[in-house]
Structure 1
Amino acid sequence: MTDEDILLLYSIENLRDIKEHFDQKVPLMPFHMLRLLLLPAIVIIGHTYLERSVDAAEKNATLSPSQQQSMQAARQKAAWKKRRIIFNNDGNEPVYSLKEATPQALLDVRTSPLKGSQVDSIFYCTWSSGFSYFTHDTKVGNVFTETANKLSNNKTAELIKNGHDPLTVMSDWCKENDVELFWSFRMNDTHDASSAWYGPLLFPPLKKEHPEWLVGSAKEKPKNGRWTAVDFTHEEICDLAFQYVEEVCRNYDVDGVELDFFRHLNYFKRVSWGEPAGDLELSRLNDLMRRIRTMADEVGHQRGRPILIAIRVPDSVEYARVLGLDVETWLKEDLVDIMTVTGYFRLNPWKESVELGHKYQVPVYAGLSESRQKDQRARKVYASTEGFRGRAMNAWSQGIDGIYLFNSFNPRHPLWRELGDPTRLQSLPKVYFTSARGYASVNSWWKKGSSFMNRDILTPDHPRVVRPGKSVSVTLPVGENPVETGATLNLKVRFKALPQNKEELIVKLNGEVVPLHAGEEHFLSGKIKPGIVRTGENQIEFTLASAAALPVVVEDLQLWINYAE
């Protein structure tokens, strides 16, 4: 009979009884002779098992009600601290950018120049691409030490060997400079699915050893998302995700952990192959979130300072739920302290996310990612300093609690000293447009994703056709009142081809006709009176006056606001 057989035969209560009899040398009854014969093995195994059970129980013991209330109050206070700008750093510096493996070399790339800026928080990602790969000194996952191809400069291993764990280096700098630090964990990064040179190099041992844990394969690619995503239906994946977070919470001096669900938005095989998440899928991530919250509160209690939990998620509860992310349940159950919304796309006006988060006393941050508009002319505008100012001003005007920049890494750019202050932004030149990210990626993670779109988008990848007899109206949010600031305004409209007769095209802004004139190629533009534009939603209407006019395709809409020097 094996040790496992014995443990199966006897419950924990029986083992305790037997051990007590054995320790006190109390004679056992005859019908216990079988147990008596096995007693030495049972006692040794049982005693060890009990000790391990007690250790595990102590490690995972829940806090008392008063301790929970105290921790909740501490979390609530910390959650609402000032975060003008959150800088998400993808942690590429150790892999690509260092000339030498020293803390200062690491800090100089993206961090040290932020001193004195409006960046109050750094969310530092230690690679986590793909799932299980990290650039901190993990014992649960794998340290990313690959040096092939363009990874030849990877100094992660050397940094760790020399005692300069990148996450610790960041933590130390943040403490010295009164900047909050979150460890950012990309929950299911799938850069390893890329056909580019780096794809196979990012494919971790975990996925090679357990292809059954993936949502697809290189030969059988799913309908939604990417085939290298791990499937959180498997409890092993949920356990690993929990252990990755726990390891950081117990071993690093971080103020919080960000669970970045936007990298990437494929979590279940069922969803990847075209079916919406069901109860099983929702329960998997709900349970994981509960485990993480419980553990983080326990560690926070032990160290005397809370560990906050932040999430980065889509800005539609309904869309997120289809993917298996039960965001409102997480908010309702107090599993989340901070919420950042949007990434590859934005589905709703900012105010809807603000209302959702504030309903559950959770601050909400506007995620501004880099433009990925394929049209270069439009992208140049969307990615401009003026473009970021307009995006930030719109978010501030709708009640957002701070600005979160993703994939912006130049620490010397003036944006780090502008976007976190709406008063300062008020008098700076801006351009407003409907979307910096375009429309293309909305359907990448769920083929019907565009059905959740709840705002107007007019971009080169999502143009609008104006036909005779039917007006086209586009909503353009503007985050300021130009009358109050003495601004000059210029409306620019881009067409696939200019109307043959410009007089036949009537453009109205909030009901008033705006005279437009030929500008740069494919553009009509015109100055408008500041009093026409209002803070919030502005309606721009296109009409062809003649029934004989040919349809025109409108590709872009830009409102430029400038101020006297």
Structure 2
Amino acid sequence: MALLPSPPFEDSTVQSIERRTFLGTLAATAASLKEPSIAAPQQSPKRLLFNWDGSMIHCFGRAALGNPDGPLTKEQFSKLIFDPLAEQSVDAVLFSFGNGNVAEYQSRVLEWPGEADRFQFPESKTWHGGIPVDAADQYRNPQSLAEAGANPPQLVVNECHRRGMRAFVSYRMNDCHDGQHPKGTIPNPELPTFKRQNADWLVEDLDWWTALDFSHPQVQTLKLKAVEEFFDRWDFDGIELDWLRHTLYFPRGTEQENAHHLTRFMRKVRKSLNRRAAQRGRPIEVAVRIPERVAWCQAGGFDIARWIDENLVDSLILGQGLTSLPTLAEFRALMGTRKLPIYPCLTPIGNGYMAQPDEVIRGTAANLWNAGADGLYAFNWFYYGPWRKALLAEIARPERLAGKNKRYIATHRVAAPSGQPGADYVRYSTQGRSAGVPFSINVKSGSHTTELAIGADLRAQNDRPKQAHLWIEFEFLGDQDVLSVTCNDHSLEIPQTPRGVERKQMGKLLTPPANQGILGFPADRPVDNTFSGVLVPVPVELLRQGTNRLTFTLKRRTPGLDHDVRIRRLEVQTGY
């Protein structure tokens, strides 16, 4: 296959750059910038933003479609993008065209995946996180599309607009997936030349060692050029600057003192895009994805209060792996008369599930809507085919969730030991800092209370469940243990057997229809969402919309068992 030539770099300081971004809403003039700009018209917030990870499509799309011989065609690429979407409910697609370091499109700024290694690719088929894949597909598929006249950014813009959806580029500001393998591991398709030749641009002493240090002007120049290319060449409606991929912008402990560097970059982006918006006669919206607490934003160097005050952003996307969002009001408090839309991140994987059941996704959506969200942001929705399209339509409108089974889950802690990949990028998230489970109880320590959010108005005539149950997964529970559980200070009756607390096989397999499935998952077997747990009936009248308190007390321990009882999972199922 002929290779597209690599265009020359447009700036002597630039050798390549990153490639992923995400969403936006409502753009306006940045008052502090004396530049041409164009204000966005007043409009209702978008209801559902859909982030597509293009790397997943390029890496796993051929296998999903049963096309082992050649690269993806334009029709196949479009099918993988749009078949899963509820087009009447998804308002905007935020497409990530790679990791922001190499380009899964023909670029005049960035290299192709593998170009730094002269298109030699790893022989290992488990290069990407242990999932079987042909690493060369990350180059072959987008290169073939571009060569056929369907450069992925142009295709995404055209197909979104044809369907009445807005097209955003989702740009990953500092993705470190190219650092998940040890230094010196070659070939490394996602590791660009500019990182190999400019080690001084990288943040020192990080577990994911390829993070760029944004205190370097050359880094900011490179990133800005990558952003500008999307609007110089294609008709995108806006951009998501994804600051959560990943959160490693400066040496540890210096994030707050270096925050002005990120603010300076945001000013450059706004100034540049305002100028381009004025030239084309319509706004370019800027969204940012940031941690879900203001304090965590400050800790990471994301001065969101200043960004809002200086009109550098048009909408906020909060968090990752959320199950609820009690901190949304913190961001509202930063806003003056210009109210920015807020979109919490809903991720259908994680928190105890490889692929969450419909009931869990509905419960999380209900929680996020009840928190005051203006819309939802779907992230890592790796499904192909239309089998979960109806579910997307349900979560896009809170009223559509009424009367449908839901399961409200506690956030699961994600921890990575220092020195291992992932230890850094979970540091500003509920999963890494304040998760509800797991926790331990013992006789001496007394009771442990945790909180669980329920988003539905359980008193509403159209959303009052017929029954409710508390799902609990224990570890190290003994046959003679005696424990109590209360819900909002009312005792619950734990089912018993002659051998102690009754345990059941809970959950069920998630089986996609034929020729549909989940990118990166084996197509020939279902996802196992079962576990051994305890099912505790909960009188519906004990539950309340909002925060619910669950208290666990271990009153007596089985003789001979010295370690703590551990609660690994907490969920409340409501049935209609």
Question: Could you say which TM-score interval applies, normalised by the shorter chain?
Answer: 0.7 to 0.9
The equivalent residue for 2:246 is: 264
Give the structure 2 partner of residue 109 of structure 1: 80
CA separation in 2, counterparts of 1:442 and 1:253? 43
- Judging changes above 3 Å, is the alpha-carbon distance between structure 1 residues 133 and 494 closer, same or farther for their aligned structure 2 residues? same
Shift of residue 350, structure 1, vs aligned partner: 4.5
Distance in 1 separating the partners of 2:454 and 2:186: 40
1:560 aligns with 2:526: no
Alignment of 1:125-524 (within 5 A): 125-127=96-98, 129=99, 131-144=100-113, 146=119, 148=121, 149=123, 150-153=134-137, 154-195=140-181, 200-216=188-204, 222=205, 224-268=206-250, 270-271=251-252, 275-279=253-257, 281-343=258-320, 349-352=326-329, 355-356=332-333, 359=336, 361-373=339-351, 378-379=352-353, 383-411=356-384, 412=386, 413=388, 414-435=390-411, 437-440=412-415, 449=427, 457-459=435-437, 462-468=438-444, 470-484=446-460, 485-487=463-465, 488-501=467-480, 504-517=482-495, 518-520=502-504, 523-524=533-534
Residue 494 of structure 1 aligns to a residue whose secondary structure is strand
Aligned residue for 1:143, secondary structure, equals coil
Deviation of residue 474 (structure 1)? 0.7
Q: Answer yes or no: is the 8 Å Cα contact 2:480–2:558 preserved in 1.
A: no
Q: Which residue of 2 aligns with 1:535?
A: 545
Q: Which has the higher contact order (CA 8 A, sep 6+)?
A: 2
Residues 199 and 390 of structure 1: is their aligned pair in 2 closer, same or farther, counting only changes over 3 Å?
Answer: farther
- In 1, the alpha carbon distance for the partners of 2:85 and 2:558 equals 58
Normalising by structure 1, we get a TM-score of 0.76
Of 91-100 and 230-239, deviating more is 91-100
Shift of 1:530: 1.0
SS of the aligned residue for 1:132 comes to coil
Aligned residues of 2:294 and 2:330 also touching (Cα < 8 A): no
Query: Cα offset for 1:452?
Result: 8.2
Q: How many matched pairs?
A: 476
> 2:369, 2:375 within 8 Å by CA — same for their partners in 1?
yes
2:77 maps to a residue whose letter is: L
State the 1:430 CA deviation: 1.3
CA distance in 1, matches of 2:380, 2:409: 20
Q: How far apart are 1:446 and its partner, in Å? A: 5.3
1:344 CA drift (Å) = 5.7
Q: Distance in 1 between matches of 2:30 and 2:376?
A: 36
2 CA distance for matches of 1:447 and 1:267? 11
Determine the structure 1 residue equivalent to 2:46.
Answer: 83
- Asked if the contact 1:101–1:159 (Cα under 8 Å) also holds between the matched residues in 2, the reply is yes
TM-aligned CA distance change 1:369 to 1:469, over 3 Å: closer
Paired residue type of 1:121: A
For residue 188 of structure 1, report the CA deviation from its aligned partner.
Answer: 0.8
Deviations 1:91-149, CA, capped at 9 Å, x for gaps = 1234542555542221011224525342111001111x2x4311232212223364734
The two structures have a TM-score, normalised by structure 2, of: 0.75
Matches of residues 45-56 of structure 1 in structure 2 within 5 Å?
none
Percent of aligned positions that are identical: 25
Question: Which 5+ residue runs of structure 2 have no aligned equivalent?
Answer: 1-28, 63-69, 124-133, 496-501, 506-531
**8 Å Cα contact 1:364-1:402 kept in structure 2:** yes
Cα shift readout 1:340-399 (whole Å, capped 9, x = no counterpart): 1112678962533553465551111011224345xxxx325x722211111111000110
Cα distance in 2 between the residues matched to 1:536 and 1:442? 33
Cα pair 1:456 1:474 within 8 Å, conserved: no
Residues 344/200 of structure 1: CA separation in 2 closer, same or farther (3 Å cut): farther
* Residues 152 and 67 (structure 1), Cα distance of their counterparts in 2 relative to 1, 3 Å cut: closer
Q: Give the residue type in structure 1 aligned to 2:49.
A: I
SS in 2 for 1:74: coil
Q: Write the distance in 1 (CA, Å) between the matches of 2:539 and 2:52.
A: 41
Do the aligned partners of residues 227 and 469 (structure 1) sit closer, same or farther apart at CA in structure 2, a change above 3 Å counting?
A: closer
Describe the superposition over 1:438-459 as per-residue Cα deviations: whole angstroms up to 9, x where unpaired: 3326985659948988996333
Deviates more, 1:149-158 or 1:541-550: 541-550
Note the residue ranges of structure 1 that are not aligned, 5 or more in a row. 1-62, 217-221
CA contact (8 A) 2:443 2:556 kept: no
Match of 1:122 in 2: 93
Q: Which amino acid aligns with 1:519?
A: R
Bigger Cα displacement from structure 2, 100-109 vs 117-126: 100-109
Answer whether contact 2:35 2:274 (CA < 8 A) is retained.
Answer: no
